[in-house]
Amino acid sequence: MPMRTSIFILAVVLVLWIAGSSRWYVCRIRGDCKCCPGKELSVPADTLSATEKALLASIEEAKNYLTNTGKLIVYFSSSATQADMNAVPAEFIARLKLYLDNTPGAKVSVTGHTDASGNPEINAKLSQSRTDFVKNYLINSGIRTDQIMATSKVNTEPAAPDNTSEGRAKNRRTEIYLFK
């Protein structure tokens, strides 16, 4: 019986040691600690390789680009649930993906809107379908699902007055922006 107890205790110690060292590596070395954000140790800049410095510079540049770009808007035709995604610059998607892949906890917001014309229940479904369409485009572009915050605002936040066709066209949109 003492032999089994010793083996059990050694097994428990080994498992705890592996779990602790894995957490230490992920949180402290890689800076990817999802359990307690903000607790990562910062690595002195003089210990980084040229490649790591270039990556950090690229991430900072991507953040500045996304912040300066602000909201990217995809417009939809009346009653349409799909749009031409060629209007979304490839550079925006590439920088968004770079930033999200390298910034723990960062998210992108996708918000669908409609104009006020038509049935409110149909508009709610339409707004959600537009949101889902853009969200799926981002997922197909390589952005992880857990990094996308998708909401549907229907016609509660118009971009322009709904009393003209131009105003209604501006309100049929989905906005993409970096969530802070």
For residues 111 and 135, is the Cβ–Cβ distance under 8 A?
no
Residues of the chain with CATH 3.30.1330.60: 48-179
So what's the pLDDT on residue 40?
A: 44
pLDDT score of 55: 86
Q: Is the pLDDT of residue 21 over 60?
A: no
Q: What is the pLDDT of residue 104?
A: 85
Predicted local confidence at residue 7, as pLDDT: 77
Judge whether residue 65 has pLDDT over 90. Answer: yes
Spatial contact of 153 and 81, defined as CB atoms under 8 Å apart: no
Q: pLDDT class for 12, splitting at 50, 70, 90? A: low
- pLDDT digits 0-9 by tens, 109-151: 999 999 999 899 999 999 999 999 999 999 999 999 999 999 9
The answer to whether the pTM exceeds 0.75 is no
3-state helix, strand, coil in the chain (%, to 5): 55, 15, 30
H or E, element range at 59:
helix 50-69
Residue 39: per-residue pLDDT: 46
pLDDT in tens, 22-46: 554 555 555 555 555 544 445 566 6
Those residues whose C-beta lies under 8 Å from the C-beta of residue 151, and which sit 6 or more positions away, are 109, 110, 111, 112, 131
Using an 8 Å Cβ cutoff, are 142 and 97 in contact? yes
48-179 maps to which CATH number? Answer: 3.30.1330.60
pLDDT at position 43 is: 55
Question: What's phi and psi for 49, nearest 5 deg?
Answer: -80, 170
Strand stretches in the chain, DSSP E: 72-75, 107-113, 148-154, 173-179
d(CA 114, CA 75): 10
Nearest to 99 by CA among 152, 61, 42: 61
